[in-house]
Amino acid sequence: MKHFLSIRDLERDEVQRLFRLTAELKARQKAREGGVPLAGRSMALIFEKPSLRTRVTFEVGMFQLGGSAVYLAAQEIGFGTRETVPDVARNLSRWVDIVTARVFAHGTVEALARHASVPVINGLSDLEHPCQALADFFTLWERGLDLSRTRLAWVGDGNNVCHSVLLLAALTGTAVTVCTPPGYEPHPAVVDACRALGGRVTLTVEAREAVEGADVIYTDVWISMGQEQERERRQEAFQRYQVNETLLRFAGGQALVMHCLPAHRGEEITDAVLDGPRSVVLDQAENRLHAQKGIILRLLGDG
């Protein structure tokens, strides 16, 4: 693995290896037994969009591994305007050991990777959020779920997070039913890629049908960053797709609830469900830190 732009950069064996490495890093962190494998190494973090979890977990992760991180707001460095993306990539490669970028267009993170001589990580694009999916599936794995027998229901928008979840599910053998309003399905090329990997993907518009017998219910915002001008149309389209207590009653008694956060409480998910006993959202958020430390170490050849 040279870069981590997509779940497609992972092989099945690599996923299992990352889960084990993440578990080890998490245990070491809990025991405050850090070690400094990345002493003297640094990461550039470029953000075209806001972030809480991604920024903090990458910065803190690098620090805990003995390295450092430099945060670069895209508008401040004129990413793609003051200076071309390839030129930014070439310059950063002379100073830092690894680059993480959160971008609007997936093509931007691909261009960075093409022109950088150091590894590039996708910290969210319009197409994928691979770090999120990896932390999410680690969250299920560490709870002891057999991922090849798990049934996950995605309720809401067939968006970037949905794409990464689908692709990772194809690698772990997890069956996914994606329930979206008509016109908001995941990208057909992503669904085809999952099926080509042997992934079990079902598409439906019926939320109750999707969650019936599900072990995990996952939702995300109806309006992703950059889609603010579609707010009204989306809010109307998604009304019947809220994850609430009524919907949960149609799922298996022990179904876990996932959300990548930030949540729009009262829109795609209710307070009662988000803060309820089945919610694992804070474990997902915490595991971003541990899983990304694993990714960094693997990319830098230290894991």
- Which of 101, 133, 166, 221 lies at the binding interface for ligand NVA (CB under 6 A)? 221
Nearest to 302 by CA among 39, 60, 27, 28: 39
Q: Which residues of 43-81 are buried (b: 16+ CB within 10 A; e: fewer)?
A: bbbbbbeebebbbebbbebbebbebebeebebeebebbe
- Which of 260, 291, 295, 299 lies at the binding interface for ligand NVA (CB under 6 A)? 260
β pairing state of 256-259 and 216-219? parallel
Q: Does 291 help bind ligand NVA (rule: CB under 6 A)?
A: no
Contacts made by residues 181-188, CB under 8 angstroms, sequence distance 24+: 181/205, 181/237, 181/238, 181/240, 181/241, 183/237, 184/157, 184/158, 184/237, 184/238, 185/158, 186/158, 186/159, 186/162, 187/127, 187/158, 187/163
| Cβ closest to ligand CP, residue 205 vs residue 261 | 261
Near ligand NVA in 145-204, by CB under 6 A = 159-161
Contacting range for ligand CP; rule: CB under 6 A; set: 34-42, 194-202, 226-234, 256-264: 256-264
Near ligand NVA in 116-135, by CB under 6 A = 124
Q: Does 287 help bind ligand NVA (rule: CB under 6 A)?
A: no
Q: Does 225 help bind ligand NVA (rule: CB under 6 A)?
A: yes
- Cβ atoms within 10 Å, residue 278: 16
Query: How many residues does the structure list for the chain?
Result: 303
Q: Which of 41, 64, 126, 132 is catalytic?
A: 132
Tokens 């079902």, located at residue: 202
Shortest separation between residue 224's beta carbon and ligand NVA, angstroms? 3
Shortest separation between residue 218's beta carbon and ligand NVA, angstroms? 12
Determine the size of the site formed for ligand NVA (CB under 6 A).
9
Q: Which amino acid is at 219?
A: T
- Which of 261, 278, 283, 286 lies at the binding interface for ligand CP (CB under 6 A)? 261
Q: Does 54 help bind ligand CP (rule: CB under 6 A)?
A: yes
Shortest separation between residue 248's beta carbon and ligand CP, angstroms? 22
What does the alpha-carbon distance between residue 291 and residue 139 come to, in Å, rounded to a whole number?
A: 10
| Cβ closest to ligand CP, residue 39 vs residue 52 | 52
Nearest to 74 by CA among 124, 142, 39, 28: 124
**Token output for 269:** 């998910």
What does the alpha-carbon distance between residue 120 and residue 137 come to, in Å, rounded to a whole number?
A: 22
Tell me, yes or no, if 235 is annotated catalytic.
no
| Cβ closest to ligand NVA, residue 67 vs residue 156 | 156
Give 3's Cβ-side CA count (13 Å radius): 19
Q: Does 52 help bind ligand CP (rule: CB under 6 A)?
A: yes
Q: Which of 106, 288, 290, 298 is catalytic?
A: 288
- Which of 3, 26, 53, 290 lies at the binding interface for ligand CP (CB under 6 A)? 53
Catalog residues that contact ligand NVA under the rule CB under 6 A. 124, 159-161, 220-221, 224-225, 260
Active-site residue set: 102, 129, 132, 220, 260, 288
